[in-house]
């Protein structure tokens, strides 16, 4: 079955040329002659669309006839052709509805796209296609983008595929005199007369029918024309990735490869032929990142012709990694913010979410803050990642919730350089510094938790000359007047004790702290 190369007729080329010329004239002046010209082009496009549609119907019928005679060989191609017709009809109908909406906006509910009254209306097309909220112009552009990708995937011939991409291009357009390019929909429908917008949409329908015809012709000619004779069949499994995360999805194409061992295709990678005839591409991964490569295969057919088949692919190189954690240290402290680091290799941070039992877990940039509620009850952090478009649980980590360790009491003072220092007892302390201190404080300041506690009360124990203990009660966290009077009477080398220290931390638990021995210097 010979290949069917359908090209644009001279009449179709003339129609396209007239459309381009009239669009240029429109930028100068919307005259009656220009509007008449657009009407003529629109009428010609409608006739051309009818003719191209009939041609596509003929190709489809021939494929139906062939499939009726040889269903095993033709059914797969007919199914693809049926899907092409369905997708094309959907986009074609969508454009018809847009044409009708624009004409209704200009001429009222009885408006007819084939008999436009207010042809020079410059607002109707923009209101329908560009008005904020409806996004009809943007929706059309996205539908064309999808259709273009869908159809070109059906056309392996790179020249024909390039022609379809050019005909259905929706790239931004830079108008003369503008600083930046406009979106496709703005350039096509902003300040355009109704007749020009309708003609443009009819031209777009013509391009869609042209693309459909190329796809149908390719499918019809692919049934058996130019078959490659093979003498070896092999099954291959081509996974998208051999590394799959738990909860992710493993995807692989299992294909039957048919080759002629006497005439293997020549494979080119980035313009350079492979150095083997097995299609094996190997390289050393020397740096991390994602790398793209492209190439093509040249296949010689039984009729002496050859075809080129383009391909693109990519691979990702990551650093070797390992996660080391101490399972005995999985502890969270109640009442304070516990910083948590959560990451999933190969998944961006914005695709990761997490929740926690027995408390709250909040996000702060790329880090997390865990705040447990109840001491003695475990807290479990569940990590979820968006992998391949679906949410999957990737980890559950259980932490023991403990109360904060007891803080250390101290007397705060300023050293000779004016820096705040802490006296924790057990060594001489200047009497002048003692008299300047308002009271005692308590904190965990080990460089990890760094948590301040509130001292509620304490006692000082002094000894008289007979060795009798004289206790004095504090004024909350401050030294009481009686305690300060006792400090005044202390001589060098004397000592006293601060005991019965009670403090409460951010976890709300009141605790008794170890006593301090103060030696007066």
- Domain termination residue (choose one: 202, 221, 240): 221
- Domain termination residue (choose one: 221, 243, 261): 221
pTM: 0.41
* CB-neighbour burial class of residue 220 (10 A; exposed 0-12, middle 13-18, buried 19+): buried
Domain shared by 164 and 50, yes or no = yes
User: Residue 398 is part of a domain; what is its CATH number?
Assistant: 2.60.40.10
Q: Compute the distance between CA of residue 384 and CA of residue 370 in angstroms, rounded to an integer.
A: 16
Residues 102-150: tens digit of each pLDDT: 999 888 998 888 888 888 888 888 889 998 888 899 999 999 999 999 9
Q: Compute the distance between CA of residue 202 and CA of residue 85 in angstroms, rounded to an integer.
A: 18
Bridge-based pairing state of the strands 272-273 and 266-269? antiparallel
Residue 259 has pLDDT above 90, yes or no: no
Domain shared by 413 and 279, yes or no = no
Confidence (pLDDT) at 27: 46
227 within some domain = no
For residues 417 and 477, the model is more confident at: 477
- Choice among 22-31, 157-166, 272-281 with the minimum mean pLDDT: 22-31
136 within some domain = yes
4 within some domain = no
Q: Kindly report the three-state secondary structure assignment for every residue of 225-287.
A: CCCCCCCEEEEEEEECCCCCCCCCCCCEEEEEEEECCCCCCEEEECCEECCCCCCCCCCCCCC
Query: Across residues 257-268, what is the average pLDDT?
Result: 75
- Domain termination residue (choose one: 379, 402, 425): 402
| Domain count within the chain | 4
Domain shared by 291 and 390, yes or no = no
484 within some domain = yes
Q: Compute the distance between CA of residue 98 and CA of residue 128 in angstroms, rounded to an integer.
A: 8
Domain shared by 397 and 418, yes or no = no
Domain shared by 203 and 112, yes or no = yes
Domain shared by 211 and 242, yes or no = no
Confidence (pLDDT) at 237: 61
Domain shared by 207 and 240, yes or no = no
Q: Which domain holds residue 242?
A: 232-317
Q: Compute the distance between CA of residue 364 and CA of residue 415 in angstroms, rounded to an integer.
A: 37
Domain shared by 413 and 390, yes or no = no
Domain shared by 412 and 476, yes or no = yes
Domain shared by 295 and 185, yes or no = no
Whether 344 and 246 have beta carbons less than 8 Å apart is answered as: no
Which residues fall within 8 angstroms of residue 280, CB to CB, at 6 or more apart? 274
478 within some domain = yes
Three-state DSSP state, 356:
strand
Considering 158-162, 250-254, 275-279, 338-342, the range whose residues carry the highest mean pLDDT is: 158-162
Residue 224 has pLDDT above 70, yes or no: no
- Choice among 62-76, 161-175, 237-251 with the minimum mean pLDDT: 237-251
């Amino acid at each position: 079955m010979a290949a069917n190369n359908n090209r644009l007729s001279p009449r179709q080329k003339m129609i396209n040329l007239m459309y381009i010329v009239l669009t240029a004239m429109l930028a100068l002046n919307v005259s009656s002659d220009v509007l008449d010209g657009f009407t003529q082009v629109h009428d010609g496009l409608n006739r051309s669309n009818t003719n191209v549609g009939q041609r596509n119907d003929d190709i489809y019928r021939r494929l139906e006839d062939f499939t009726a005679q040889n269903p095993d060989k033709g059914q797969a191609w007919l199914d693809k052709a049926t899907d092409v017709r369905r997708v094309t009809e959907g986009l074609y109908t969508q454009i018809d509805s847009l044409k009708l909406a624009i004409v209704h906006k200009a001429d009222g509910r009885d408006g007819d796209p084939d008999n436009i009254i207010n042809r020079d209306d410059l607002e109707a097309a923009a209101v329908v296609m560009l008005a904020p909220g409806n996004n009809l112009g943007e929706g059309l552009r996205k539908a064309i983008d999808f259709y273009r990708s869908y159809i070109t995937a059906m056309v392996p011939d790179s020249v024909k595929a390039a022609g379809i991409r050019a005909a259905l291009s929706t790239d931004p357009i830079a108008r003369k005199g503008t600083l930046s390019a406009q979106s496709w929909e703005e350039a096509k429908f902003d300040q355009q007369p109704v007749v020009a917008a309708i003609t443009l949409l009819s031209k777009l329908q013509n391009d869609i029918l042209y693309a459909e015809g190329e796809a149908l012709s390719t499918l019809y000619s692919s049934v058996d024309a130019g078959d490659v004779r093979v003498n070896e069949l092999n099954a291959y499994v081509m996974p998208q990735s051999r590394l799959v995360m738990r909860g992710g999805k493993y995807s692989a194409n299992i294909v039957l490869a048919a080759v002629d061992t006497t005439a293997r295709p020549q494979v080119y990678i980035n313009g350079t032929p492979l150095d083997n005839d097995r299609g094996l591409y190997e390289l050393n991964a020397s740096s991390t990142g994602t790398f793209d490569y492209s190439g093509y295969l040249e296949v010689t057919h039984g009729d002496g012709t050859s075809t080129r088949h383009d391909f693109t692919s990519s691979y990702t190189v990551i650093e070797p990694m390992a996660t080391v954690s101490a399972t005995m240290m999985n502890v969270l402290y109640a009442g304070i913010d516990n910083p948590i680091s959560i990451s999933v290799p190969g998944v961006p941070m914005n695709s990761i979410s997490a929740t926690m039992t027995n408390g709250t877990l909040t996000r702060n940039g790329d880090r997390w803050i865990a705040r447990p509620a109840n001491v003695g009850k475990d807290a479990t952090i569940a990590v979820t990642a968006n992998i391949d478009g679906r949410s999957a649980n990737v980890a559950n980590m259980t932490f023991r919730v403990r109360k904060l360790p007891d803080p250390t009491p101290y007397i705060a003072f300023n050293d000779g350089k004016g820096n705040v220092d802490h006296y924790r007892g057990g060594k001489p302390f200047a009497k002048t510094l003692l008299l300047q201190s308002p009271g005692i404080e308590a904190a965990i300041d080990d460089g990890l938790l760094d948590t301040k506690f509130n001292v509620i009360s304490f006692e000082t124990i002094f000894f008289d000359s007979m060795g009798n203990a004289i206790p004095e009660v504090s004024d909350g966290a401050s030294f009481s007047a009686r305690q300060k009077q006792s400090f005044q009477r202390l001589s060098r080398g004397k000592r006293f004790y601060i005991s019965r220290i009670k403090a409460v931390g951010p976890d709300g638990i009141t605790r008794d702290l170890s006593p301090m021995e103060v030696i007066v210097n």
